[in-house]
């Protein structure tokens, strides 16, 4: 199976975190690309959530001609193991299954789901990132959170997501490390809801189904 390229190669089975493979709390797969990445730890019960517009207490409205959206829930990012101050960026990319080509394809552009400036190096600096759903972040809409990472998605597709985290030397903006994270099935081929799931309001309405092991990726279907 292949995924159509962003601007870099992705070899996967589907999303998120750890020090050298799977996440401590969740099983998101880590695919290193450059250097030695910092530690990334999931902060919420699930890595990503999909659902219909609008979520309860959602901070931005939806275009109701396209009723689907996806949140990337919160995660802690620690500085990479280099003795320099660091900038850290996290970007999310969403993929949908193309029924005509039988392949994953990137849909739209990337979305920033976190950034931090001048973190202390060697893993001593850390920051909370993500774009969480309101059933995760219960203070919405009184904060900037609870904004979907991806909004106004066309219905009738199977979706998954990839998160790219990049660490830069704050002194000269040189790239130190970069890694991709994405949701994967467990050893039995089952995708746990801790990887990716339907938000409760969309599941109750019968608009979102899954998670599924879709051609090796943790994914959900939104009708």
pLDDT, tens digit (0-9, with 9 covering 90-100), for 190-216? 999 999 999 887 888 788 999 999 999
Q: What percent of the chain has pLDDT over 90?
A: 53
**Placement of tokens 């979907």 in the chain:** 148
Q: What is the pLDDT of residues 82-110, one digit of tens each?
A: 999 999 999 999 999 999 999 999 998 89
Burial of residue 106, with CB atoms counted within 10 A of its CB: 0-12 exposed, 13-18 middle, 19 or more buried:
middle
- Mean of the pLDDT values across residues 155-172? 96
Contact 114, 132 (CB under 8 A): no
Element holding 202 (H helix, E strand):
helix 200-204
Is residue 112 scored above 60 in pLDDT? yes
pTM: 0.83
pLDDT (0 to 100) of residue 45: 86
Q: Which residue has the higher pLDDT, 205 or 15?
A: 205
End-to-end CA distance of the chain: 24
Specify burial of residue 20 (Cβ count, 10 A radius: 0-12, 13-18, 19+). exposed
Alpha-carbon gap, residue 62 to 68, rounded angstroms: 9
The pLDDT score that the predictor gives to residue 58 is 58
Model confidence pLDDT, tens digit, residues 37-76: 999 988 888 899 987 766 655 556 565 556 788 989 989 9
Least confident among 6-10, 82-86, 94-98, 176-180: 6-10
| Mean pLDDT value across residues 10-37 | 55
């Amino acid at each position: 199976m292949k995924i159509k390229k962003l601007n870099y190669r992705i070899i996967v089975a589907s999303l998120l975190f750890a020090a050298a493979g799977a996440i401590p709390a969740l099983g998101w797969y880590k695919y290193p690309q450059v250097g030695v990445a910092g530690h990334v730890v999931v902060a919420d019960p699930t890595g990503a959530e999909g659902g219909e517009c609008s979520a309860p207490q959602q901070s931005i409205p939806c275009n109701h001609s396209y009723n689907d959206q996806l949140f990337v829930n919160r995660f802690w990012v620690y500085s990479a193991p280099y003795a320099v101050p660091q900038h850290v960026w996290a970007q999310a990319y969403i993929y949908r299954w193309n029924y005509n080509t039988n392949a994953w394809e990137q849909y739209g552009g990337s979305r920033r789901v976190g950034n931090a400036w001048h973190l202390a190096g060697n893993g001593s600096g850390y920051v909370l990132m993500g774009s969480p759903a309101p059933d995760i972040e219960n203070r919405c809409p009184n904060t900037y959170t609870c904004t979907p990472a991806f909004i106004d998605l066309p219905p009738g597709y199977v979706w998954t997501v990839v998160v790219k985290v990049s660490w830069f030397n704050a002194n000269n903006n040189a790239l130190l490390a970069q890694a991709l994270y994405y949701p994967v099935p467990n050893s039995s081929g089952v995708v746990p809801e801790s990887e990716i799931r339907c938000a409760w309001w969309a599941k109750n309405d019968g608009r979102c189904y899954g998670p599924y092991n879709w051609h090796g990726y943790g994914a959900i279907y939104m009708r």
